[in-house]
């Protein structure tokens, strides 16, 4: 008789945890998964999926403008926030049901309770007080909104946990931050007609992205009527009797808003998990320290997804969960390469990126060629909108290998997925050049850029 109740106990039924549980069960493991909130995790319930639905809703205002330019008389339009939220909720309920059904079909036992680690092989269920012994424990609890900066009145803000369920659309909204969540919701609110302000302590949006994308997105947001306040921080937030939030800024200005969305990043949700009981090592941010195979220092405890703070994206968590199950229960040697990850930012205009930024490429490679193109989106030509598309390819000029692709404009998220396949396979600029273009399309520019915009040679000064 086994000394363990289960072969694998997963804490957290988000996308990564669910994938790991299902794959492990498919290999014949006895698996139990615990979730204290809703099955599906941040991405499905209050993250990527509902966000993308709201992004789509926000872009119809541009569609109506473009339609008139193409001969359509669309008449007056109006937006119903409550109808969108209700429709979004129905879809999220459907998806959660699908996640639950998939776990059941895989033979995974779901426990709706918070689970805490007692020791290297024991977890305690908060709902019942029951303790269970597991041969392996996988922590997949994700991350939570970072409540920073800690200024007076922070309690009067909302985070990405609450923004999806606001009872009404704010007429005036302040978004604090400049990462994925901040720029995406600034675009959502602006597209839906809210007077939107985006405040950021730095001089450009989206730290870590290619500088050309960062600059052009800021310009596009300003052109769309978003008040972007750079090099500025909130100092105090006061809530008035009528519900208005009065915010004082470091530049001496004051703003009045119906809602303030705090979107300054996320932190690993390890607090109160009992990791210290088993001796699991966490870094200064609270992230669980793991190796390439998602193993912590304790041989029986593993961690995947945002709780490890490696690459905080849902598809990465899913791949990490799958690789963990393949390795530990499938007898395979599987791990995830975090060095090359395609990603999209569903701002409006949209961003897609894979590989090295220009700055990183020039630091790592002796000679770098930059190819780029900028043009008006075809759908905006007849309507007269000034929406621009920007594309950039970064090439190692000595080997001809494509080091990075960066896109800004409609459908960039769709395009970068396929470009990501090519870059992952090690495509060269010559491979791009000999690919026949799909015409007329924006994507054809990726294979028709022939002359470099600039060539940087590390052995010489400046661009050639």
Q: CA-CA distance, 206 to 382, in Å (whole number)?
A: 31
Distance of CA 68 to the CA centre of its chain: 34
- What is the DSSP-derived secondary structure letter of residue 295? B
For residue 394, list its beta bridge partners.
370, 404
Tokens (6 digits) for 394: 């970064």
> How many CB atoms are closer than 10 A to CB 5?
17
Half-sphere exposure in the Cβ direction for 405 (13 Å, CA): 31
Name the active-site residue from 335, 338, 406, 439.
439
Q: CA-CA distance, 63 to 54, in Å (whole number)?
A: 15
Q: CA-CA distance, 137 to 130, in Å (whole number)?
A: 16
Tokens (6 digits) for 172: 């005036």
Please say whether the beta carbons of 371 and 392 come within 8 A. Answer: yes
Long-range contacts of 386-392 (CB under 8 A, 24+ apart): 386/223, 387/62, 387/220, 387/349, 388/216, 388/220, 388/349, 389/349, 389/442, 389/445, 390/212, 390/213, 390/216, 391/442, 391/445, 391/446, 391/449, 392/210, 392/212, 392/213, 392/358
Burial class (CB in 10 A: 0-12, 13-18, 19+), 457: middle
200 is catalytic: no
> How many CB atoms are closer than 10 A to CB 45?
21
Q: Of 352, 355, 372, 354, whose CA–CA distance to 449 is shortest?
A: 372
Tokens (6 digits) for 116: 């805490």
**What is the three-class DSSP state of 339?**
coil
Q: Which positions are annotated as active-site residues?
A: 439
């Amino acid at each position: 008789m086994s000394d363990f109740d289960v072969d694998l106990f997963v804490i957290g039924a988000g996308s990564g945890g669910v994938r790991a549980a299902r794959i492990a069960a498919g290999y014949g493991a006895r698996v139990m998964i615990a979730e204290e909130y809703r099955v599906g995790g941040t991405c499905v319930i209050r993250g990527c999926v509902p966000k993308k639905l709201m992004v789509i809703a926000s872009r119809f205002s541009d569609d109506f403008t473009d339609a008139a330019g193409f001969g359509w008389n669309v008449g007056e339009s109006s937006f119903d926030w409550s109808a969108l939220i209700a429709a979004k909720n129905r879809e999220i309920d459907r998806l959660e049901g699908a996640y639950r059904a998939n776990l059941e079909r895989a033979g995974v036992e779901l426990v709706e309770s918070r689970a805490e680690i007692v020791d290297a092989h024991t977890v305690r269920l908060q709902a019942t007080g029951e303790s269970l012994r597991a041969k392996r424990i996988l922590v997949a609890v994700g991350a939570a909104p970072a409540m920073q900066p800690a200024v007076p009145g922070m309690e009067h803000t909302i985070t990405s946990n609450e923004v999806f369920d606001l009872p009404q659309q704010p007429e005036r909204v302040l978004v604090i931050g400049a990462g994925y969540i901040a720029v995406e919701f600034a675009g959502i609110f602006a597209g839906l007609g809210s007077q939107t302000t985006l405040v950021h302590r730095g001089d450009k949006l989206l730290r870590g992205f290619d500088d050309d994308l960062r600059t052009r997105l800021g310009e596009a947001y300003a052109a769309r009527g978003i008040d972007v306040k750079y090099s500025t921080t909130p100092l105090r937030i006061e809530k008035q009797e009528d519900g208005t939030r009065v915010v004082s800024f470091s530049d001496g200005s004051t703003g009045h808003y119906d809602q303030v969305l705090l979107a300054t990043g996320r932190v690993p949700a390890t607090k109160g998990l009992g990791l210290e009981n088993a001796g699991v090592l966490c870094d200064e941010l609270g992230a669980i320290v793991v190796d390439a195979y998602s193993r912590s220092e304790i041989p029986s405890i593993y961690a995947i997804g945002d709780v490890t703070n490696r690459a905080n994206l849902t598809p990465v968590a899913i791949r990490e969960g799958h690789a963990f199950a393949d390795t530990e229960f499938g007898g395979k040697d599987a791990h995830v390469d975090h060095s090359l990850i395609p990603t999209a930012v569903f701002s409006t205009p949209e961003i897609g990126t894979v590989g090295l930024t220009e700055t990183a490429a020039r630091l790592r490679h002796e000679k770098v060629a930059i190819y780029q193109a900028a043009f008006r989106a075809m759908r905006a030509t007849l309507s007269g909108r000034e929406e621009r598309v920007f594309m950039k390819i970064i090439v190692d000029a000595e080997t001809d290998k494509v080091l990075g692709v960066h896109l800004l404009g409609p459908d960039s998220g769709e395009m970068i997925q396929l470009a990501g396949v090519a870059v992952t396979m090690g495509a060269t600029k010559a491979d791009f050049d000999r690919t026949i273009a799909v015409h007329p399309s924006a994507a054809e520019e990726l294979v028709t850029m022939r002359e470099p915009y600039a060539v940087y040679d590390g052995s010489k000064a400046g661009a050639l």
